[in-house]
Amino acid sequence: MSAPSGLVIAIDGPSGSGKSSTSRGVATRLGLRYLDTGAMYRAMTWWMLRAGVDPTDPVAVAARVGEPLIEAGTDPLGPTIAVDGIDVVRAIRTDEVTGSVSPVSAVAEVRARLLGLQRTIIAAAPGGIVVEGRDIGSVVAPDAPVKVYLTADPSARAVRRAAEEGGSDVAATEESLLARDRIDSGRAASPLVMAEGAVHIDTTPYSLDEVIDLVVGLVKEAGA
Ligand code: DC
């Protein structure tokens, strides 16, 4: 696999740590493309559910992994995601998909397929791209000159995620976030870890603009 030629900014961390808003803000500020790899795992999960595949059966999931055509758009002002030509921007955010995405993401064959797609998209963004996920700095783009690991207090994460989801119950959202963290961090294939060389930012005390400023500062410091 060829190394991406443009600037890659890797942003990893658990759900609700502010990754998406920060990544889109940094990309917009610096005129870069933006890739949400979580949306790709969600799109794969959406397809599996629709195809009647049990998301908790890794053998069944692995057998179908090559079938869906997943297309992710990289405009930070309007990221798109489609499966077999169907716009799934909203459909991938339902509780059903959210509840099944961790076991699907833990399947090695799913990760291998999406890794290939992610590297192709990164290579096609020669002007540079901000990529968010769980394994960007460790696996997808280990040579990225800027790697950030975002975290936040679980309660702050749940409040943000519930607001994003249009006012879901905060306690239930926190429980679901922590359950996904446990699976995402404990899985054998590319677990959520802080990559070597990553800068850790706990976003709890900061506003979104302040976090974007911090990351843009890191990019400038790296001379990237
Ligand atoms: O960022 P998110 O909550 O939309 O991600 C959805 C799920 O996808 C998350 O539970 C873990 C998985 N994921 C992953 O395993 N690797 C990535 N690079 C991105 C997301």
pLDDT digits (tens, 9 = 90+) for 24-49: 999 999 999 999 999 999 999 999 99
Tell me, using a 6 A CB cutoff, whether residue 203 lines ligand 1.
no
Closest CA to 6 of 141, 191, 196, 108: 141
Q: What is the pLDDT of residue 168?
A: 79
- List the residue whose alpha carbon is closest to atom 8 of ligand 1: 38
- The model's pTM is 0.92
CA of 25 to the centre of ligand 1 (A): 19
CA of 191 to the centre of ligand 1 (A): 10
Which backbone phi and psi does 129 adopt, to 5 degrees?
Answer: -155, 140
Residue to probe by mutation, ligand 1, list 134, 150, 181, most atoms within 8 Å of CB: 134
CA of 163 to the centre of ligand 1 (A): 19
Q: What is the pLDDT of residue 5?
A: 56
- Beta strand ranges found along 62-158 (DSSP E): 70-72, 81-83, 86-87, 129-133, 146-151
- List the residue whose alpha carbon is closest to atom 2 of ligand 1: 38
- List the residue whose alpha carbon is closest to atom 5 of ligand 1: 38
DSSP track, 139-180: II-TT-SEEEEEE--HHHHHHHHHHHTTS--HHHHHHHHHHH
Closest CA to 201 of 7, 17, 9, 16: 17
pLDDT along the chain (224 residues), means of 10: 69 90 97 98 98 98 98 97 98 95 96 98 94 96 96 88 81 88 84 91 94 96 84
CA of 38 to the centre of ligand 1 (A): 4
CA of 37 to the centre of ligand 1 (A): 7
CA of 216 to the centre of ligand 1 (A): 23
- List the residue whose alpha carbon is closest to atom 16 of ligand 1: 134
Beta bridge partners of 200: 149
